Structures are given as structure tokens and as C-alpha cells.
Chains A and B, each alone.
Chain A
């Protein structure tokens, strides 16, 4: 087993996901299959190889600090699952 049910529960917590016991069972097999497959990479010696995070080399572009296209407050709030006047409503945090 590459990953145990307890580890899956821990990773799910990190990812803010929950699974039913039944889902955990099928996920456990699938995730183990996938993780066993990707172990293939261990066959390769990559010592001294620089990792690539981005295929095209680019400098960080800068832009002038000017206001361009603005989405209105109403548009910004228009997709809110729950709103009150000009605010997004969330469950009490503190």
C-alpha cells in the first residue's frame, strides 16, 4: 500500500474535502494504483537535473500602476452564493 486510509483522510483534510467510507474504499485502490504507477520515475537518475516549472523562459513583466478595466461592485457580487448589501456572507469565523 502506497497510501493508507488514514493518510487519505489526512490529505483530504488538507484539501478541504470529505469522503464517505464507501468512497474512501474505491479511492484508496485508485490512488494506490496511480501512485504505484508514478513510482516509475524512480527508475531515472535525476541528480543534478534542474527542475522545470515553466516550459518557456520569461522575465517577470511589470505593468504601470494605473486603473484599467474595472468590474463594478455589483458585478463582483453578482455570483455570490450568499450576500447582504455589499458584503459576501460567510459563517461566523471568530
Chain B
């Protein structure tokens, strides 16, 4: 294992600034690590070696001319759902297998301005629909802690790559837990920011009222650093919010005093049967740790929790079926070879271009929106969404932060839930409400199980209070002292 790839973004950034290492050496160390380890993990769909080396040389010039910025020369991997100019962006779908965007997503543009280096595009569930990365049209990604297990999803490639040191940090997207759940399964930190905090321009749309881009990193400091770059209003995304962005990294300095007297709510609906014993004990031990640091722990209730999955699996497919109607084989993407007329061209293109889970969701969404069913399904779900939001409003009148498990169990085995989509959906129980409400959520490691698998804890806060989550996370990270969390694939 190379020393360079062991450094966090924060540590690496300081070394690059001080010219203790060169951007090119850093990028080459990562490319070498990818060559060695990624055949086992299979996190990358595309590795852009030549581009990365060119970017590293440019980054070095930037540092040499005293224009260093925190991400100058830092090698990143990007979930293949974000458009990258000139680099194919597949969404892990046959539909976009050869799609080369003519523009960059805003978050990519912002990182390019800093001189970040892009190593390539990371695997995911097709169109971000899934919880295991097994729905990728190309190949599944393996969990670096146990190669027989899933890395989670849909940002499974991103979480696995960060965990196995195949990039210094990554960007993912989260519609129902797609950043937080894989982060938990891979032992890394992931944040879903408030809806509107980060621009969605250039993010391939899945469910537009729920999607949000966010960081996946090795620790809280790195997460704060990446949030500093990607947050903020973007005129190109009319749902991005013009709300002041604090310096998240700087805010960590006040974490120690901040935690004293902070009210942390434990929703009783999240600690119920079906929750793995070890997960429950680890999350509670982490909460006790925060209590010993001065936080006040109270029990709260989010009464509509049990309706969140049903609500989500109507709203998200409804929005998805509309968003995915654009894949018609005309302007870009896959087109079927043989057809008699326009209608057949559409149908064959979509039947051959989309995988089973995407089709399932298009079907559910189309059904839920179709004449005669709209009120019973889509409207009803949107009303329950209002009740779920109210639960959180009431909760945040009583506490500052909510702490919960991220997933009911540690990472499951590849193939275990593949034939039963409903079972797969049910594993999203703890992460989905955050998206329906639009509030931010943070997932971070809190323990390693007896089987050697990471266990995560989730924190939720009120709108635009990402700094609160990061401060709580930072205190926990400092005091749990789980160390560098080196996955098994790097030890063998």
C-alpha cells in the first residue's frame, strides 16, 4: 500500500501545498492502486488515465505559480451519473453506453476550477435505481471489506473506491439513501445535503424532487472540504437555493463546545424489530459516547416512518417515468437496430436499452400517474409526504439532531436480494424519509462488526444545517478512534 494513497484529502492537500509531493506522483500512485486493486473491487466503469496525468501536470503548474487551492492536484473519482465534458457518462446503462456529454455538471466545473484531478467514472445501479450496485448494466462492484458482499447502492462504486483508496474522495448522488447506505456498507463518510444546497445541473435526473449530489469521503474533515467547494446557488439549476454557505471546515473548530448541551433525538420508530443486534448496539454505543461528551439524549417520535417506503416507491417512480421518457433513441443514447416505424423504434429502443429495475420503476410510475389511479397513488403519496415532513418539523422543535442507524444490517451478500425487488426496497427504510423531507443526512462509520464489516450511524438535521451534522460527526469520529479503517482487500 502506498503512503500517498493512505493520506486523507486534508493531509494530501497540505503536502501538495508545501510541495512535499508532486501532483503527478500523487496521480500516478492512485492509477497504480487502481491497476492493482480495482480488478478485485470493480468500482470504475471508465478510468481516464491520460486525462488525469494531464490534469495533474496542470495542477502542479497552478501550485508552482502560487495559485494553490484545497483541491488542486487531489485525485477524485466521480459517480457515472454526473456529466463530464468529453468523458463518457453512462449512468451504468446500456442506454447511455456511448454518451459523451458536451458539458460539465456544475459540481465538476467547480472542482475543475480548483485544479482537481479526475481519475474516472464510478459504477452504480443503472440510473441510480438500486441499493446494491448489482443493477449496473455492465458488472457489479464488490465490497472491499468482503468481496462476496455488495458495496451498497446506488453509489456503490463511489463508496467502494473511497474505501479501497482508489480515489482520494468521490461525489455521489442520493435520491433515497444512495450516498448514505453505500457509505455505511463500505466504512466511509457520506452526506446528502439539503435539497437545493448543491446544484443538480449536469446530474442525470432520476427523481427530481428528491435527487441531491453529495460527497463520499474517508473522514469528516474531507467531507467538510468537499462541501465547501460544491455547495451554493447555481443559476443553471432553478431549484438550487440562494442561502449563505458557511465554511464547513472552519466550523469544525467549534465542535467541542458545540456538542455540550446539544439535544440529540432518538426516534423510537427506528429502533425496532428487524434491526440487527450488532447494528443496534453499535449505534447506541456511539450515542452514549456523544452523551459522555456533553450531548443530551432524548427520545422522540417520527410517527409516519412506517409509511416512508410506500410513499417513496410511488413518488420516485412517478418522477422517474417522466424523466426517463427522454430516452427515445433520437437525439442521443442507444437506438434499437430493427424497427418498422417510429412507435416501434421507441419501444424496442427502450425495451433493449433499459435494464429490469429501471423498467419496473417506469411501469410503477406510469401506473401510479395513469388515469383513474392518480388520486389513489400519486396524490395520496404526496399527501403522506406532507405528514412525514410535519413529523420532522415537530421533532426539530424538541431536538437539534436526530441519530439513527443507516441500514438494518451490515452489507448483504451479492445476489441475496436480487430476485426480490420489494426486499431490496425495504432495506432503504432508515434513509428514505430524509429525501422525502428534503433535509440533510450524514452517514459515518461507528463500528466494525464481529464479521469484520463496517456499521454506520446516521445523523439528520433541520434544513441547511449541514454544519451541525459535520460538527457532531467530527466529535464522534475523534472520540471513537476507529483508526484508518483499512478494508480487507488492502490487507490480503
Does any Cβ of A come within 8 Å of B39's Cβ? no
Name the B residues within 8 Å of A17 (CB-CB). Answer: 347, 350-351, 354, 359, 362-363
Does any Cβ of A come within 8 Å of B379's Cβ? yes
* A50 near B383: Cβ-Cβ < 8 Å: yes
CA distance A50 to B422 in the complex (A): 28
Name the B residues within 8 Å of A15 (CB-CB). Answer: 321, 350, 362-363, 366
Number of residues from A at the complex interface, CB < 8 A: 53
Name the A residues within 8 Å of B381 (CB-CB). Answer: 38, 41
* B438 near A56: Cβ-Cβ < 8 Å: yes
Q: Which residue of the partner chain A has the closest CB to B340?
A: A91
Does any Cβ of A come within 8 Å of B67's Cβ? no
Please choose the segment from B20-28, B172-180, B323-331, B479-487 that sits at the chain A interface, where 4 or more of its residues have CB less than 8 A away. Answer: B323-331
Q: Choose from A39, A46, A55 the contact partner of B438 (Cβ within 8 Å).
A: A55
Cβ contacts B367-395/A at 8 Å (1 or 0 each): 10010000001011111111101000000
Q: Choose from A11, A52, A58, A76 the contact partner of B363 (Cβ within 8 Å).
A: A11
Would A82 and B335 be within 8 Å (CB), given that A31-B360, A51-B386, A56-B241 are in contact? yes
- 69-83 of chain A: CB within 8 A of chain B: 69, 71-72, 75-76, 78-82
- 33-78 of chain A: CB within 8 A of chain B: 33-35, 37-42, 44, 46, 49-56, 58, 60-61, 63, 69, 71-72, 75-76, 78
* B383 near A46: Cβ-Cβ < 8 Å: yes
* B370 near A52: Cβ-Cβ < 8 Å: no
* A81 near B363: Cβ-Cβ < 8 Å: no
Q: Choose from A11, A55, A75 the contact partner of B367 (Cβ within 8 Å).
A: A11
Q: In whole Å, how far is A15's beta carbon from the nearest beta carbon of chain B?
A: 4
Q: In whole Å, how far is B134's beta carbon from the nearest beta carbon of chain A?
A: 15
Name the B residues within 8 Å of A55 (CB-CB). Answer: 195, 209, 385, 389, 436-439
Does any Cβ of A come within 8 Å of B314's Cβ? yes
- 158-195 of chain B: CB within 8 A of chain A: 194-195
* A61 near B362: Cβ-Cβ < 8 Å: no
- 339-357 of chain B: CB within 8 A of chain A: 339-343, 345-348, 350-351, 354, 356
Q: In whole Å, how far is A34's beta carbon from the nearest beta carbon of chain B?
A: 6
B interface secondary structure, majority: helix
* B313 near A34: Cβ-Cβ < 8 Å: yes
Does any Cβ of A come within 8 Å of B396's Cβ? no
* A40 near B422: Cβ-Cβ < 8 Å: no
Cβ contacts B297-313/A at 8 Å (1 or 0 each): 00000001011011101
* B379 near A51: Cβ-Cβ < 8 Å: yes
* B382 near A52: Cβ-Cβ < 8 Å: yes
* A49 near B383: Cβ-Cβ < 8 Å: yes
CA distance A77 to B332 in the complex (A): 8
* B382 near A93: Cβ-Cβ < 8 Å: no
- 230-278 of chain B: CB within 8 A of chain A: 235, 238-239, 241
Name the B residues within 8 Å of A69 (CB-CB). Answer: 103
* B310 near A81: Cβ-Cβ < 8 Å: no
Q: Choose from B194, B239, B334, B380 the contact partner of A46 (Cβ within 8 Å).
A: B380
* A34 near B386: Cβ-Cβ < 8 Å: no
30 sample A-B contacts, Cβ–Cβ < 8 Å, listed by A number:
A8-B363, A11-B363, A11-B366, A15-B321, A16-B343, A16-B346, A16-B347, A27-B363, A30-B421, A34-B360, A37-B310, A41-B384, A44-B307, A46-B387, A51-B383, A51-B386, A52-B382, A55-B195, A55-B389, A56-B195, A56-B241, A63-B235, A78-B100, A79-B333, A80-B331, A80-B332, A81-B330, A81-B334, A81-B335, A91-B339
